[in-house]
Amino acid sequence: MSERGLKEAFVSNLNGTSLQDVALGSLLSPLCLFSRGLILILCHQAKGTLPLPLPLISHLFLDFFVLILPLVVSCTILSSILDQVIISFVSLSACVFWYICRTNRSHSWTTISPFLQSHVQFSQVPFVTVFRVFVNVKTAISILAVDFSIFPRRYAKTETYGTGVMDFGVGAYIFANALVAPEARRIGISGSKMNHIRKQLLSVWPLVVLGMGRLVSLKLTDYQEHVTEYGVHWNFFFTLAIVRVVASMLLTVLPANHSWLYSLLISGFYQFTLETSGLKSFLLHNKDREKDFLHANKEGIFSVVGYVAIYMAGVQAGLYVMQSRSQVKEWHKVLLNLLFGSFVLYFALYTCQTLVEPVSRRLSNLPFCLWSVAQSLLFLSSFGVAEMLLLFSKRASGCDSVPSSWNLHNKKSDSVSDKKTGETEKFCLVQAVNRNQLLFFLLANAMTGLTNTVVDTLGCSASFTVCILLLYMFINCFVIYVLHLCGMTLKFW
């Protein structure tokens, strides 16, 4: 078998892992973010200032070491002991958190009630920003790591049915885009509805161009392809473009505040069609791709329906999260509601899998939509909990600002606080990725292709694999970080 055939077989016919395994793995990123915040608070207590009086590149190394490195090793050399990694992070963070609170002279353990009554200030909802960034970062790690033998096969995309970490990544990426969609941010339609639709069609041209570029490059280089993922010619860039346009067109004529209902109706009707027609057998039959474009790309084309449903659910979540709030107790209630919504959807998923069929990313069926939204809400609310604990730590320590987090509102020192926030955000890797998310995703795809052409990914040792992945992620982060320091946002549409 050729090298291309070996690589295609390596990522094919997989069955994924359990729902619990995916949920457990998603806790690591919030723990990394919380640990980074605690480290900065300790540095503030020692030095009395943030950002740290270090060379600019040192801030990148700190963020890379705390935020990126654990994610790389957790899906490679430490994947078999992920539960122990999580427990270690929780234990260490809990000890540091306890130390920070205990060393506060005002006895912060007795000030929870005043803390809930206090007000926060922010320009963006912090846990929404970090959720979107970490979905992008984990995607960047996975698309290259999956080609190495050390990457657990249970994390890779499933063939037909099952739940893999990378399966969730696809749904989470759609959900993350919907959270900050114009409809979720209550940006009204300017001009006529037709002009709005025309504007949305024009806004996705970079995705179409990127999709065409990926298609041409794959065919010219004879790069390995997992055909049952999207089809012969289709790819995720096309899916992103179509989902964005279709959802925007629907929300032009339908009220966005009922998008959860549209999500349920779309996914429910699609599942009904799968069960009562020949569509399911058509999608799963893999011997008819030579007939026409539809047969060649059926997974990519029909899965758009499920992704539109996920996008609609994401818009609803965005509408709720983006509401104007200032008190800590209001955000505490939001996090509880997000967690409750996740548990309700997980219960619905269990029922659906029992009575209908298992999760299938390939079909983008109703269980896949329920799982993607449930796990996204859990992932999102986990970041929210980490931000809330970090805010309490900042209050206990007197630290005014930690990048990508809430700040307590203080009328007497708002201008000073804003200045400090601006300084810390300038050196923050999370803000750097957030500034150029599509470019980061594109750069990761380009670097993945380049790495596969020069490295025998299947024959690499475990240590060499980790080194390659860390170098690959550092290059991606370094480019984005430098652009951020220069104040450059590469958005040309």
* DSSP letter assigned to residue 159: S
Q: Say which amino acid occupies 60.
A: L
The residues pairing with 120 across neighbouring beta strands, listed in sequence order, are: 408
Domain assignment present for residue 378? The answer is: yes
Write down the pLDDT at residue 399: 79
Domain assignment present for residue 492? The answer is: no
Domain assignment present for residue 210? The answer is: yes
Q: Check whether 241 has a pLDDT greater than 80.
A: yes
Report the distance separating Cα 436 and Cα 433, nearest Å. 5
What pLDDT band is residue 439 in, cutting at 50, 70 and 90?
very high
- Mean pLDDT across 81-101: 92
Write down the pLDDT at residue 421: 61
Q: Check whether 443 has a pLDDT greater than 90.
A: yes
CB-CB contact of 225 with 218 (8 Å): yes
Domains: count for the chain: 1
What digits encode the pLDDT tens for the residues 294-315?
999 999 999 999 999 999 999 9
Residue closest to 307 by CA, chosen among 377, 231, 366, 394:
366
Domain assignment present for residue 132? The answer is: yes
Domain assignment present for residue 227? The answer is: yes
Domain assignment present for residue 368? The answer is: yes
Write down the pLDDT at residue 287: 78
What pLDDT band is residue 471 in, cutting at 50, 70 and 90?
very high
Domain assignment present for residue 490? The answer is: no
Domain assignment present for residue 491? The answer is: no
Q: Check whether 55 has a pLDDT greater than 80.
A: no
Report the distance separating Cα 473 and Cα 65, nearest Å. 11
CA dihedral sign, ordered 485, 486, 489, 490: negative
Domain range for 238 is: 3-485
Q: Check whether 412 has a pLDDT greater than 60.
A: no
What digits encode the pLDDT tens for the residues 331-350?
999 999 999 999 999 999 99
Write down the pLDDT at residue 416: 47
- Mean pLDDT across 254-275: 95
